[in-house]
Amino acid sequence: MKQILFLFLLFFTFSHAEYLDNHSCNECHEKIYEEYQLSFHTKGYFNDTLHRKIADQVSSEKYSCATCHMPMADNLDELITGAARPDKNNKTHTDAISCYFCHTIAYVKTAHKFNVNTKSRQAKNYKPTLYGRLDNPDDSDKHSSTSNPVYAKRVCMGCHSHKLNDNNITVFRAMETKQNSIGCIKCHMPEVSGGAEKMDKRARGRHKSHKFLGIHDKVFRKTGLDINISTQENKILVTLHNKMEHPLIIQPARVKFLKIELIRANKVIWKNYTKKPSEDKQGYFAYSFKQEGKKIIIPAHADEGESYNLLSKEIKELVYRVPEVQSQDKITVGMYVQLAKDDCAKVVDLTGTNYTEPQLMKETEVIIK
Ligand code: HEC
Ligand code: HEC
Ligand code: HEC
Ligand code: HEC
Ligand code: HEC
């Protein structure tokens, strides 16, 4: 019955129903709403400085980023062609990656440049139907709920999979073509305590977190990577294990880099770089782009691009030549993230802000026996 209903909704329904904004969900899903408010899915043109500054540099007229960053916009086509600009008084703009958008993705079509989210069409004068949990969906006064066999498999890949620019250069790639969203949901939406809605009708007592923790969370970001240190006479061996189902770098503005120190009697006697982390090519993970052979920062018009990365689940051993290691020496290896690389921050005038402040992701240390 549920499958038939799903097919019915997908193929036979009519024009768009009224948009239910984020705040309207708060009435019943208070906890989830609060979590969601802390998440980066609420960030976009109006409250993410880095995003806005890059978007404005790419084009001061067209806002093509809307497809993924403002997907619910009631004038999406106009934003993309430049006939309209982002409007802070329009809820379908300020809601960014909204509850309603995510919960009405019926299918995701795989495509070369970037994937395409297909929305379920809602029947006029009926309450909207939302996709949610795969098992045991339940209705409410405000909306019907249904399970959609493709929902959990594809919901994240419409936006997070990959993006190529007009010259077919990869701007980012987080997912392989065959990969689904189940792993993404498992790590980024763990089950936490509290009912999925205020009344907790089903008395489940637990729900899937909507904080979507990621690189900004100090505790969560430690879990993505293992760092192991070993030594041989005049070598330090650093083994990195990316435990995530995506590359270490999936964001062209970011850099993640290693800081390695060999410390003897409280003095640093060797470091993997002297001034800038980029001096150590093995420990500097980032995208880089060129246009007509010249290095450029913003990838929109690049005709060449590459990334030095740690792929999904990859284990990499880095070897550093150092002065001979002695008993009681201490070695520390830290992986740091900079939300905007120095050169990127410079282009969009964010130097000296917390976007360029290196933040520790994870650190390991050993004392030689
Ligand atoms: C195909 C979907 C898609 C399109 C189109 C897209 N983005 Fe994104 N963008 C994403 C996803 C997914 C993320 C989150 C990935 C991450 O943080 O690693 C993101 C994150 C970002 C971030 C990092 C946010 C921060 O503050 O850390 C910036 C900046 C950004 N995008 C800029 C843009 C700009 C500018 C455009 C338009 C020129 C654009 N994006 C178009 C999907 C897209
Ligand atoms: C009038 C109260 C009310 C409002 C408003 C409301 N919901 Fe619900 N919703 C419920 C109830 C009740 C359930 C069933 C809970 C259960 O199964 O434990 C539910 C279930 C859900 C589910 C889970 C369905 C499933 O598959 O089990 C999703 C997803 C959902 N709501 C999303 C939303 C979103 C998004 C909004 C805002 C656009 C919203 N709801 C607004 C009451 C509401
Ligand atoms: C409609 C497009 C869209 C969909 C669908 C989507 N995301 Fe996102 N997501 C984004 C964008 C855009 C950002 C970056 C926003 C920003 O920082 O400005 C983002 C950011 C994130 C982040 C980064 C958090 C951080 O700290 O930087 C995580 C984690 C994430 N999404 C996980 C998911 C998961 C898991 C799913 C599937 C359940 C999903 N997303 C579905 C567009 C989307
Ligand atoms: C094994 C757990 C795990 C899985 C599976 C996983 N992630 Fe992550 N993800 C993490 C951790 C931990 C971080 C934070 C550390 C980092 O970014 O290096 C993260 C970071 C992110 C970020 C922010 C990166 C940045 O630099 O802004 C996004 C976006 C994201 N994940 C999306 C996804 C998507 C989409 C999927 C499904 C393809 C997914 N994740 C699968 C653990 C996971
Ligand atoms: C980035 C996409 C995304 C956004 C944004 C989002 N959700 Fe969800 N939500 C999901 C996914 C995926 C699941 C299913 C998780 C599962 O079953 O493992 C889910 C599950 C739910 C459930 C069922 C939870 C449970 O454990 O029973 C409710 C209720 C819900 N969402 C409401 C909301 C509300 C309200 C908002 C906005 C405040 C929201 N969602 C925003 C993707 C999203």
pLDDT digits (tens, 9 = 90+) for 12-39: 333 455 789 999 999 999 999 999 999 9
Cα dist from 368 to 233, 247, 322, 328, 362, whole Å: 11, 32, 14, 5, 20
Query: Which pLDDT score, from 0 to 100, does residue 131 have?
Result: 87
Question: What is the mean pLDDT of the segment spanning 38-60?
Answer: 97
Measured at the CA of 222, the angle between CA 180 and CA 42, to 5 degrees, comes to: 60
The pLDDT confidence band at residue 129, using thresholds 50, 70 and 90, is confident
Q: How far is the CA of 125 from the centre of ligand 3 (A)?
A: 31
Residue nearest (by alpha carbon) to ligand 1 atom 39: 65
Residue 2 pLDDT > 70: no
Q: Which of 53, 24, 245, 238 is nearest to 128 (CA)?
A: 24
Question: What is the mean pLDDT of the segment spanning 204-217?
Answer: 94
The pLDDT confidence band at residue 150, using thresholds 50, 70 and 90, is confident
What percentage of the chain reaches a pLDDT higher than 70? 93
Ligand 1 site, residue 253, Cβ cutoff 6 A: yes
Q: How far is the CA of 18 from the centre of ligand 1 (A)?
A: 27
By most ligand atoms within 8 Å of CB, the mutation choice from 197, 198, 200, 209 for ligand 2 is: 197
Ligand 1 site, residue 72, Cβ cutoff 6 A: no
Residue 189 pLDDT > 90: yes
By most ligand atoms within 8 Å of CB, the mutation choice from 72, 100, 145 for ligand 2 is: 145
Residue 135 pLDDT > 70: no
Ligand 5 site, residue 40, Cβ cutoff 6 A: no
Contacts 24+ apart (CB under 8 A), 176-185: 176/312, 177/110, 179/245, 180/153, 180/154, 181/152, 181/153, 181/154, 181/155, 181/156, 181/157, 182/152, 182/153, 183/245, 184/156, 184/160, 184/245, 185/152, 185/155, 185/156
What percentage of the chain reaches a pLDDT higher than 90? 81
Query: Which pLDDT score, from 0 to 100, does residue 317 have?
Result: 98
The pLDDT confidence band at residue 139, using thresholds 50, 70 and 90, is low
Ligand 1 site, residue 244, Cβ cutoff 6 A: no
Q: How far is the CA of 208 from the centre of ligand 5 (A)?
A: 7
Q: How far is the CA of 130 from the centre of ligand 5 (A)?
A: 10
Ligand 1 site, residue 156, Cβ cutoff 6 A: no
Residue nearest (by alpha carbon) to ligand 5 atom 9: 132
Query: Residues lining ligand 4, CB < 6 A?
Result: 156, 160, 174-175, 179, 183-184, 186-188, 214-215, 220-221, 223-224, 243-246, 248, 250-251, 254
Tokens 């150590």 belong to residue: 280
Query: Residues lining ligand 2, CB < 6 A?
Result: 20, 24-25, 27-29, 99-100, 103, 130, 132-133, 137-138, 140-143, 145, 196-197, 201-202
20: Cα separation from own chain's centroid: 24
Query: Which pLDDT score, from 0 to 100, does residue 140 have?
Result: 65
Half-sphere exposure of 289 (CA within 13 A, CB side): 22
Residue 88 pLDDT > 90: yes
Cα dist from 47 to 80, 166, 302, whole Å: 20, 27, 27
By most ligand atoms within 8 Å of CB, the mutation choice from 91, 143, 151, 204 for ligand 2 is: 143
Query: Which pLDDT score, from 0 to 100, does residue 136 have?
Result: 64
Q: How far is the CA of 208 from the centre of ligand 2 (A)?
A: 13
Query: For residues 30 and 140, what is the distance between their CA atoms, to the nearest angstrom?
Result: 15
Q: How far apart are the first and last CA of the chain?
A: 67
Q: How far is the CA of 155 from the centre of ligand 1 (A)?
A: 17
Q: How far is the CA of 41 from the centre of ligand 1 (A)?
A: 11
The pLDDT confidence band at residue 197, using thresholds 50, 70 and 90, is confident
Question: What is the mean pLDDT of the segment spanning 33-48?
Answer: 97
Question: What is the mean pLDDT of the segment spanning 103-112?
Answer: 93
